[in-house]
Structure 1
Amino acid sequence: MAYRYWCGECGFRTGWLTESQVERQQTEHYAARHPEIFPGGQVETDRRNPNRAVGCAQLVGLLVMVLILAASCRR
């Protein structure tokens, strides 16, 4: 599932990420930009393409495997 976080205090938003990545970026953003305020805002779920983050990770993994295979076949 892909998620995007919107800050409750300013216009900051993350890209489409996994839930744990969004939580980490929210915490880091509030610590840097709004240190006196408890983290808030809202988290949006990508309903059009709920597997977006997983699909991207699979694509990157596939590309890495192809590069390893190509490097091992080269003489």
Structure 2
Amino acid sequence: MHDTGAGIDMSFRYWCGECPHRTPWLREAEAWRRHSAHYTAEHPRITPGGRIETGDRAPKGGSACLLVLIVLALLLVLPAACRW
């Protein structure tokens, strides 16, 4: 695992080096635990490998995408509603 420094919120996603599996965005310890569990279950005689992706924020819900979709929907619906 990697030291990210004190007070920095980061999220991690581990990619398997043997198959397309990847962990969800999680805190480092949980992502590493799931990555290791995947290797134990699916690739038992292989040392865990692959790559690690890091994000600059703590893992949270995907509400930003939802907000963008709502705004876009309103931009499409409001002009159509004003024509009636």
TM range, smaller chain: 0.5 to 0.7
1:52 to 2:61 alignment: no
Question: How far did residue 52 of structure 1 move?
Answer: 3.3
**Structure 2 SS opposite 1:52:** coil
Question: How far did residue 51 of structure 1 move?
Answer: 1.6
Query: Which structure's residues are more often helix, by fraction?
Result: 1
Aligned length: 52
Greater RCO (CA < 8 Å, at least 6 residues apart): 1
| Cα RMSD after superposing both structures | 1.5
Question: How far did residue 41 of structure 1 move?
Answer: 0.7
Q: Which runs of 4+ in 1 moved over 2 A?
A: none
Report the TM-score, using the length of structure 1 for normalisation. 0.64
Unaligned runs of 5+ in 1: 57-75
**Structure 1 SS opposite 2:44:** coil
Match of 2:32 among 23, 48, 58: 23
Q: Report if aligned partners of 2:27, 2:58 keep a CA contact under 8 Å in 1.
A: no
Determine which structure has more spread, i.e. the larger CA radius of gyration: 2
Identical columns (%): 49
Unaligned runs of 5+ in 2: 1-9, 61-84
Report the TM-score, using the length of structure 2 for normalisation. 0.57
